[in-house]
Amino acid sequence: MSGICDGRVVVVTGAGRGLGRAHALAFAAEGARLVVNDLGVGLDGTPGPDGPAARVAAEIRAAGGEAVAHGGDIATDTGAASLVTTALRTYGRLDTLVNNAGFLRDRMLVNLGEDDWDAVLRVHLKGHFLPLRHAAAHWRAETRAGRAPAARIVNTSSGAGLLGSLGQGNYSAAKAGIIGLTLVAAAEFARYGVQVNAIAPAARTRMTERAFAETMAAPADGFDAMAPENVSPLVVWLGSAASAGVTGRVFASEGGRITVMEGWRPGPSADKGARWTPSEAGGAALKLLAEAEVPGAVYGA
């Protein structure tokens, strides 16, 4: 196989199913050599009965590509370190990290338990941070040794992280945190030749099949707008050397649409030049709100 990622070594977490599997197959189709990570847990993060990472790696090899499975827990320091080590021992290099692993524990906030909060923040946010940190440490060492990498990290946020989503306070908080992590990493890692971007995908997976139940049937025109494979081309490009100069950005991807998301920017402002009284501050705030853009609605509201 050859293509836009010919010769690159790519790690994809949560690649046993859904978006991660689609990303891994798409990278392989463009010539990348893969480390396919998946812990094999259920939708809620509990242990599953099989090892989907091995199946996806076998699928890539059967198509003529190169892939190795990794079943470690990337939300642990040991598991994240072994993820990078697997790439280096197997292929001798690492070029791209795609952080994708996650699961759901949906509850309204008043019913959301501490364990459900911690579990979702752990896999989504900590599960992004630890692989990112270990990969960046390798690329820093490469830079200091005079081997400047063209390294790429693609993180996975969500519309829930941009706007919020009813019944998903834990998930929304984690996905918003991933955007902040992406911006900081892009700034800090630039000196090592590492570009860091994030996607906010909308696709039909185990995590979203209820939300997209009405789109499960095959469309009459043959284009399935909710297929996870629609998101992967952008991820592959961001993970390739062709995306040179693109970093610290968030892209929404759904069906055939790609959108550059623009985050918090200063809007209407008022400066008294002295301390406000509470009444004055309230009056100023109401006037500014009347001039400001109305924020997007929280999902499900």
Residue with tokens 């072994």: 82
Q: Phi, psi (5° rounding) for residue 145?
A: -90, 5
Domain match, 48 and 128 both: yes
Domain match, 106 and 240 both: yes
Please list the active-site residues.
158, 171, 175
Name the H helices within 145-210. 159-163, 169-189
Please state the domain count of the chain.
2
In this prediction, the residues of the chain whose per-residue pLDDT falls under 50 are 45, 49, 209, 211-216
Domain that holds residue 15: 9-261
DSSP-derived secondary structure letter, 4: T
Domain match, 27 and 82 both: yes
CA neighbours closer than 13 Å in the CB half-sphere of residue 237: 12
Q: Looking at residue 45, what is its pLDDT?
A: 46
Domain match, 21 and 55 both: yes
